[in-house]
């Protein structure tokens, strides 16, 4: 589904990601855990087609998506992304957010039905005419998530989606992600600085440090180890 081969990206003298190689199977939920500034967001943006690598290749569904001087545009990649900043449009209501993206991929007569379905899945039916500024942080996160999956992506990229939420809102968003995956069965790559955010979600965890992968393990082994470490403190 996703394959990175030696992906490298630098900004001036600083290497944001260094020779990243990773394979993600279709339907898998992979978490990349690492501190702020370690290259997590840069890696996502390269996969999404929002950045070009200096070296290496990105393959999506068997297609060469990008390498230096070759790029499949973001809207043709089958990828949805939830940005850390959310990037919601303040002048659009919830319904308008979804209508904008759904209208680009579905016939007009099916748009309203799709929007109704998404609002029900995301528990935002009562917020149809609300603007982002009128919503709680958790509701804004759910809207960003619904907008990302509205195009029926085969791959969902999540950039620290829970970082600004309290514990209850984080739990609710995790449930929404589970529900949406059950309904659509997409692959997920979720980056976060806090391993607790992906506990109960991820199938596999990869640790990123200074732009390079340090290790990877099954979620069961990883979380068991982290819990043991915290208990020992």
- The CATH code of the domain that includes 116 is 3.40.50.300
Domain that holds residue 151: 2-232
User: Backbone dihedral region of 225: left (phi > 0), alpha (psi from -120 to 50 degrees) or beta?
Assistant: alpha
Question: Which tokens belong to 212?
Answer: 């390079």
Report the number of distinct structural domains present in the chain.
1
User: What is the per-residue pLDDT across 13-72, written as a single tens digit (0 to 9) for each?
Assistant: 888 999 999 999 999 999 999 998 899 999 999 999 999 999 999 999 999 998 777 789
Residue 111 per-residue DSSP state? H
b/e 145-155 (16+ beta carbons within 10 angstroms → b): bbbbbbeebbb
Give every strand in the sheet of 212-218, ordered side by side: 79-82, 155-159, 187-192, 29-33, 204-209, 212-218
166-205 per-position pLDDT tens digit: 889 899 999 999 988 888 889 999 999 999 999 999 999 9
Q: Quick one: pLDDT at residue 231?
A: 80
Query: Which residues are within 8 A (CB) of 222 and not within 5 positions of it... i.e. 6 or more apart?
Result: 195, 205
At residue 159's C-alpha, the angle toward residues 208 and 70, to 5°, is 80
């Amino acid at each position: 589904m996703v394959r990175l081969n030696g992906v490298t990206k630098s900004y001036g003298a600083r290497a944001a990601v260094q020779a990243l190689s990773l394979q993600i199977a279709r339907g898998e939920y992979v978490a990349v855990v690492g501190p702020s500034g370690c290259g997590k967001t840069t890696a996502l943006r390269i996969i999404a087609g929002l950045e070009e690598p200096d070296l290496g290749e990105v393959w999506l569904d068997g297609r060469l998506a990008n390498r230096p001087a070759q790029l499949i545009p973001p809207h043709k990649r089958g990828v949805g992304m939830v940005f850390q900043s959310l990037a919601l449009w303040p002048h659009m209501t919830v319904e308008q957010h979804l209508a904008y993206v759904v209208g680009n991929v579905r016939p007009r007569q099916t748009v309203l039905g799709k929007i109704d379905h998404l609002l029900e899945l995301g528990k935002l039916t009562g917020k149809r005419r609300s603007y982002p500024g009128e919503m709680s942080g958790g509701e804004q996160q759910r809207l960003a998530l619904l907008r990302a999956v509205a195009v029926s992506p085969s791959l969902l990229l999540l950039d620290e989606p829970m970082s600004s939420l309290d514990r209850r809102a984080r739990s609710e968003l995790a449930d929404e992600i589970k529900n949406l995956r059950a309904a659509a069965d997409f692959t997920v790559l979720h980056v976060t600085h806090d391993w607790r955010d992906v506990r109960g979600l991820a199938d596999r965890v990869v640790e990123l440090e200074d732009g390079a992968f340090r290790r990877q393990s099954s979620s069961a082994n990883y979380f068991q180890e982290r819990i043991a470490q915290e208990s020992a403190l």
